[in-house]
Amino acid sequence: MTAKTSTGRSEPLKVKLTDDGLHLMDSILWLDSHSCGDLSFLSSALKPIKTQGPQVIATEETLKVYEAFHKRPNSLVCQYNRPFSIGRLKMELLPSGVMLGGASLYVEKDNTKFLYAPVVQTQKIDAVRQMQLKKASTLIMSTPHPDPLAVLPNRKKEKERLLEAVSKSLADGRYPLIFCPPISVAQEITKLLTENGIPVSVHNQIFHVNRVYDSFGANLGKYSLSSTRRTKNKVMLFSFPQGPDRASIKLRLPEGPIFYIEKTVTTSNAPEVFRDVTERFFLSAYACGPELKEIITTVNPKEVFFFGPYAKKYADELKNIAPSVKPLYSNDQPTLL
């Protein structure tokens, strides 16, 4: 797409992918950058942020999650479906459906319209605003799942299967340990268990995010902060271990079967380093490849850009979904049509 200059001539609008987000060239706007530029739109609180980074555009909910971990960036708080302008850019935040406060960014400049939707969720999740889309000539998306053709198991049935497995384990006098993503999926599981009268304790990181959800009316039920030394007779939710936690958690794990919530259909062996996984379940925060096809059809763009580790694979498999479908590589500067 092209934008007109003050002289009336058309000027190409370009986007650049970097190691720290994307940059809308010839503007101050960055997309999901945590260190670069003067102004960055944050689509969610899924990634760490630097307090001394750029000024950010985000929803109040996203900023509250960051504040729960003592991160308070200089911010412009924006609400869903409230258009605003910065210079010649007209923007609007749309719910992404991924998590509390998650958003996509719709941008207009002169006659150009594009939608930046890095991660989206088509299925309804409790306490999360359902995904919204707008038609645009350009659509920019990430590739969170390795296989663009793989279909995730039915979310409702996976939750029912998890609940059944937990209930069966409790009936045998064994309290499961559930490993899951600490944002979005953990809150969904917390609510699932508490609504069914199951006692729940959660890892410190999950606890802080749960409190933010509750403060915005999510009502996740009755749960407690877990302690591997003191917590007894409760199902425990752990976030995925990282860094030093990965090496030390083996020593701190209480007895009980391990249930592992997979983020994609390609299973991970990470928990095997501390104990065999009893059972795996598939509850991803993000839409899978076939669901992305539905999203692209709804947006009806002239061109689609994919970025991320599987960008080329997605572009190859979905090449017929729009007139132009391309992978976006670091330091490329493609013109947005």
pLDDT tens column, 107-143: 998 888 999 999 999 998 888 999 999 999 999 999 9
Q: How far is residue 120's CA from residue 175's CA, in Å, rounded to a whole number? A: 33
Q: What is the pLDDT of residues 21-64, one digit of tens each?
A: 999 988 899 999 988 888 999 999 988 777 677 899 999 999 99
**What is the rounded CA–CA span in Å between residue 94 and residue 86?**
17
Residues 130 and 97: their CA atoms lie apart, in Å, by 5
- For residue 39, give the 3-state DSSP assignment: strand
Burial of 269 from C-beta contacts in 10 A (0-12 / 13-18 / 19+): exposed
In the chain, which residue ranges form alpha helices assigned H by DSSP? Answer: 60-68, 155-171, 185-195, 204-215, 244-252, 289-299, 311-317
Domains and CATH numbers, the chain: 2-150+286-336 (3.60.15.10), 155-282 (3.40.50.10890)
Q: 47, exposed or middle or buried, with CB in 10 Å at 0-12, 13-18, 19+?
A: exposed
Look up tokens 């001394």; give the residue: 52
- DSSP code, position 286: S
pTM above the 0.85 mark? yes
Q: Which two tokens stand for residue 152?
A: 């995730």
Which residues does 320 contact at the CB level (< 8 Å), separation at least 6?
Answer: none
Alpha-carbon span 114 to 300, nearest angstrom: 11
Q: Tell me how far apart the alpha carbons of residues 85 and 108 are, in angstroms, rounded to a whole number.
A: 9
The pLDDT of residue 294 is 94
Q: Cβ distance 113 to 106 under 8 Å?
A: yes
The per-residue b/e assignment along 83-110, b for 16 or more CB within 10 angstroms, e otherwise, is: eeeeeebebbbbbbbbbbbbbbbbbbbb
Give per-residue pLDDT as tens, 221-242: 999 998 756 667 899 999 876 5
Question: 6 with 321: CB under 8 angstroms?
Answer: no
Q: For residue 270, what pLDDT is reported?
A: 52
